[in-house]
Amino acid sequence: MRGTLNRFSVVCRLTLGLAAVGLPVCGTANDEVETVVMAEEAACPPTTGMLPTADCPPRFVFGADYLLLRPSFSNSTALYQATAVGGQSIALTPLNYDFGYASGVRGFIGYNFSDDTLGRFSYLGIDAATSVAGTATGNYVGGNGTAYIGPFYTEAVPPTASITSTSNVSLDLYDLELARRFEIDTETDGAARWDTAGSAGIRFMDSSVSTTVDNYCPLCPNYLVTTNRIFQGVGPRLAIQGRRYLGPARRWSAFATGGAALLVGSFSNDATRFTKVVNLLETQSVGGTLVVPNFDIALGTSWQWGPRTSISAGWMLMFFGNLGYSETIDTNGINQGAVATSVPLTNSSLTYDGAFFRLTHMF
């Protein structure tokens, strides 16, 4: 059997549309532009070092991503700092949660129904945590000092009183999608220079945002406040990707991916306020239906390591709007001399940004 490399093989792989999503991106790999003679009985795929012929049957594709992402909220206030100088209070200064980059994973497995059509299931999971603390100094009530206030009327006003606010974010995404590749432009030898791929599918999201506020005061009540906001939703998702092949062998390529989903589901918001020493526990729960718009983008580059194996890396961003909110538990007892305000725990949107590194293989 005689095959030519100028036909190139299409190695379909799913590219994450933001390291969370993916499109099947078919990359062509061409070692040389010359005719290669293969034995009539050669297996499909051919031996190592040779590109599979165009008439090879559909195959499975699987891959894994290592994610290094940083979550951030549009409203990320953890505490307020209040300063009194000369008997006058200065405006409150917000202290925000500052999440660092956290490790996550994304795995996928798919099936190539043809050279240009792919079905795929993928999972993405990542957890992150951060904390903000403040300790009162001086004599805020007397007119010179620094005090701190937190959610649910927690406060640190007398000297050595403190507040520590910790936030934990957990995200799990499940995608089931069908993607199709289209060539846009080709070289004179028939190899693709540009191609695009589109996908349609369903996304399921399971997220949790929990907060723990530990309040210590030597001469006043101490509080431990916890909140847990959970959202579970599902909805349609569309994505599109463009790719440019680089170099005479087309082993390198650059790609850009964008996707959007509309997730509808239920949310619950549970909060507790535990007053230490007197062991007083107050609880509050709210819930209902929530609509979460979601979009993501990814920019990256790929290297066709072998006929069926590729390595990719790039930057991605995921956005989730209207993620949820937390109500303040109102209590009658506010400490004497307290700052007359409290921090509402409201999170209107959640964004992840960072790097991804991917290994993809077909068999």
Instruction: Name all domains of the chain by residue range, CATH numbers in brackets.
Output: 2-362 (2.40.128.100)
Give pLDDT, residue 219: 78
The two structure tokens encoding residue 239: 């994505």
Give pLDDT, residue 329: 44
Question: Cβ neighbours of residue 320 under 8 Å, at least 6 residues apart?
Answer: 205, 207, 292, 293, 294, 349, 350, 351
Residue of 332, 330, 135 lying closest to 218 (CA atoms): 135
Give pLDDT, residue 108: 95
- 10-residue stretch averages of pLDDT, the chain, 363 residues long: 34 36 38 30 43 58 96 87 81 87 96 89 97 92 86 84 93 96 67 85 95 86 87 96 86 94 92 82 85 96 90 97 63 44 69 96 86
CA angle 315–30–2, rounded 5-degree value: 150
Q: The pTM is what?
A: 0.79
Give pLDDT, residue 44: 52
Give pLDDT, residue 143: 82
Compute the distance between CA of residue 91 and CA of residue 2 in angstroms, rounded to an integer: 79
Give pLDDT, residue 186: 59
Question: Cβ neighbours of residue 217 under 8 Å, at least 6 residues apart?
Answer: 155, 156, 157, 158, 161, 335
Give pLDDT, residue 87: 76
End-to-end CA, the chain: 22
CA neighbours within 13 Å on the CB side: how many for 307?
18
Collapsing DSSP to helix, strand or coil, 15 comes out as strand
